[in-house]
């Protein structure tokens, strides 16, 4: 599902070079639930951004869900994004639209027939446990609910791969656990998951394969 070969990412900030990723090679199979761990600034978000081509690597090759991410034409990017769902630490919902519209928006962009949209959105909202809040604006939701809405938005297109960047970062322990439970549920239904977190305890608690980044290098890969 994911292959990286000697991937490096160097950011230039004025005269300063920042090496966010340094020669990372790894492989993740379809159907795996993998944790991407490492301290703040170790390159986790950078790696995820490379996977859905929000950024391009300075060096190396990347394949995701059958796409040659590094060599692909710009016009192919929407196809890649269709196969990859993304959830961020801050849910990044559209503030002026209610939960329903935040999720339905994705299907409208994909050109889904109108009569299919409502049932699919409601089913997905139900799956993440916020169908009762469909009419609420993001600001009217708790952080946990916002994160569920963001998950629904990522899942509505039925992605083969779900990238989650600190999806529990702003949540208290109980709510974080619920989101993790939801992720396990999504994984059980066949979605490949890559979950980035700097919370080492959380990474251990999950008892999944864990890739550890440090200073942009892949330090460990443990089952």
Ligand X SMILES: Nc1ncnc2c1ncn2[C@@H]1O[C@H](COP(=O)(O)OP(=O)(O)OP(=O)(O)O)[C@@H](O)[C@H]1O
**Residues in the site for ligand X, rule: CB under 6 A?**
11, 13, 18, 20, 38, 40-46, 198
Give Cβ neighbours of residue 114 (< 8 Å, ≥ 6 apart): none
CA 145 remoteness from chain centre: 17
> In this complex, which beta carbon is closest to ligand X, that of residue 17 or of residue 30?
17
> In this complex, which beta carbon is closest to Mg ion, that of residue 44 or of residue 133?
44
Nearest distance from C-beta of residue 49 to ligand X, angstroms: 8
Nearest distance from C-beta of residue 40 to ligand X, angstroms: 3
Strand partners, 5: 61
Contacted by 146, from ligand X, Mg ion, none: CB < 5 to 8 Å by type = none
8 exposure class (CB count in 10 Å sphere: 0-12, 13-18, 19+): middle
3-state secondary structure of 57: coil
Enumerate residues 40-69 that contact Mg ion by CB under 5 A. 44-45
Q: How far is CA 40 from CA 36, 84, 212, in A?
A: 12, 24, 12
> In this complex, which beta carbon is closest to Mg ion, that of residue 117 or of residue 167?
167
Token pair of 192, please?
């490949």
Enumerate residues 16-45 that contact Mg ion by CB under 5 A. 44-45
> In this complex, which beta carbon is closest to ligand X, that of residue 11 or of residue 181?
11
* Contact footprint for Mg ion (CB under 5 A): 44-45
């Amino acid at each position: 599902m994911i292959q990286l070969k000697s991937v490096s990412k160097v950011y230039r900030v004025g005269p300063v070079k920042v090496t966010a990723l340094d020669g990372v090679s790894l492989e993740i199979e379809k159907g795996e639930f993998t944790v991407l761990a490492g301290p703040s600034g170790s390159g986790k978000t950078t790696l995820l951004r490379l996977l859905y081509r929000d950024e391009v690597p300075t060096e190396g090759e990347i394949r995701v869900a059958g796409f040659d991410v590094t060599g692909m034409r710009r016009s192919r990017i929407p196809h890649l994004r269709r196969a990859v769902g993304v959830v961020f630490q801050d849910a990044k919902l559209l503030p002026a639209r209610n939960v329903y519209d935040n999720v339905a928006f994705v299907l409208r962009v994909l050109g889904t027939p109108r009569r299919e949209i409502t049932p699919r959105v409601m089913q997905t909202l139900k799956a993440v446990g916020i169908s009762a809040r469909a009419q609420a604006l993001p600001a009217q939701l708790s952080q946990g609910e916002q994160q569920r809405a963001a998950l629904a938005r990522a899942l509505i297109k039925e992605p083969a791969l779900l990238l989650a960047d600190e999806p529990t970062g702003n949540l208290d322990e109980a709510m974080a656990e619920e989101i993790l439970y939801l992720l396990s549920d999504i994984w059980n239904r066949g979605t490949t998951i890559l979950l980035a977190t700097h919370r080492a305890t959380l990474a251990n608690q999950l008892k999944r394969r864990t890739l550890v980044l440090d200073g942009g290098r892949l330090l460990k890969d443990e089952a």
